[in-house]
């Protein structure tokens, strides 16, 4: 640190971008095999590589931030801008799904009977599990804000309790989403409706799982006293991501479940 003539953090060589890329490629290849041949071996291998990479990469970043002192105010400012740009890119990712859904629903073609939903598609009742999941995610948005305020006011117990509650709500949402998929009367191959529905809600579900793991990581770090009221960017990034997931779900509920059905 004494030899540096700048305030920035130039990271050391790391194998995790490479292993992360390998894990992601293996996971996507495994998903393709699962869809076509019902073979889940490669998918499980990809999940294992990806999860191990996530654990070790987050471990290194936590060390740099907490024990080595690399994350000063200027570095954190850069990371905040990076997180904001990342969330904007994710928003545009979901905009593409909303665009496809609206394009297909506002002007249904002859191939699907000029009806929306297409004939033979029995959509979900928006007043049942989708509404319950909406309440769960909105509540989790409140609890993660509770966690943030407790952290700012240096209340260790309240931070722990509210963060545990947020993680539990995220897990409950995922369980209910999985149950909804099992009860579905249509599949991803059932016309443009099935494709748009499962792509949009499936990718959102993936984001909920990632956000839940992110918050679980923050919970472990909090239990190890990594955060203080002045230095907790790791949790801030997780809370921003979680609020983004909440807003996307609201749009999904309104456009896909309620209006689109």
Answer yes or no: do 116 and 173 share one domain: yes
- Concatenating the DSSP letter of every residue in 99-124 gives HHHHHHHHS--GGGTT-SSPTT----
Boundary residue ending a domain (70, 91, 123):
70
Answer yes or no: do 59 and 104 share one domain: no
Answer yes or no: do 170 and 157 share one domain: yes
Per-residue confidence band for 3, with pLDDT thresholds at 50, 70 and 90: low
Answer yes or no: do 110 and 188 share one domain: yes
What are the CA-CA distances from residue 79 to residues 40, 74, 128, 168, 171 (Å)?
36, 9, 40, 28, 27
Q: What is the domain range of residue 135? A: 72-259
pLDDT digits (tens, 9 = 90+) for 49-64: 999 998 999 899 888 8
**Residue 179 predicted with pLDDT over 90:** yes
Q: What is the pTM of this model?
A: 0.87
Answer yes or no: do 62 and 77 share one domain: no
Answer yes or no: do 219 and 186 share one domain: yes
- CATH classification at residue 65: 1.10.287.70
**Residue 2 predicted with pLDDT over 60:** no
231: three-class secondary structure by DSSP: coil
- CATH classification at residue 138: 1.20.120.80
| Residue in the structure block whose two tokens are 């590589």 | 49
């Amino acid at each position: 640190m004494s030899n540096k003539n700048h305030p920035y953090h130039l990271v050391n060589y790391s194998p995790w971008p490479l292993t992360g890329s390998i894990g992601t490629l293996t996971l996507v290849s495994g998903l393709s095999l699962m869809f076509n041949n019902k073979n889940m071996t490669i998918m499980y291998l990809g999940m294992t590589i990806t999860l191990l990479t996530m654990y070790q990469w987050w471990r290194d970043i936590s060390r740099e931030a907490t024990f080595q002192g690399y994350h000063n105010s200027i570095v954190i400012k850069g990371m905040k801008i990076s997180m904001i740009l990342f969330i904007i890119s994710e928003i545009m990712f979901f905009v593409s799904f909303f665009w496809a859904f609206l394009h297909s629903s506002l002007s249904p073609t002859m191939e699907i009977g000029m009806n929306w939903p297409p004939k033979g598609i029995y959509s979900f009742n928006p007043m049942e599990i989708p509404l319950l999941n909406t309440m769960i995610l909105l509540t989790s948005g409140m609890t993660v804000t509770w966690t943030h305020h407790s952290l700012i006011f240096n209340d260790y117990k309240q931070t722990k309790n509210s963060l545990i509650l947020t993680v539990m709500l995220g897990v409950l949402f995922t369980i209910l989403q999985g149950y909804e998929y099992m009860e579905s009367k249509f599949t991803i191959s059932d016309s443009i409706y099935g494709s748009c529905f499962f792509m949009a809600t499936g990718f959102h579900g993936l984001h909920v799982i990632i956000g839940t793991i992110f918050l679980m990581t923050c919970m472990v770090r909090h239990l190890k006293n990594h955060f203080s009221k002045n230095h907790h960017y790791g949790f801030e990034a997780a809370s921003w991501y979680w609020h983004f997931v909440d807003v996307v779900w609201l749009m999904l509920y309104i456009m896909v479940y309620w209006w689109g059905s």
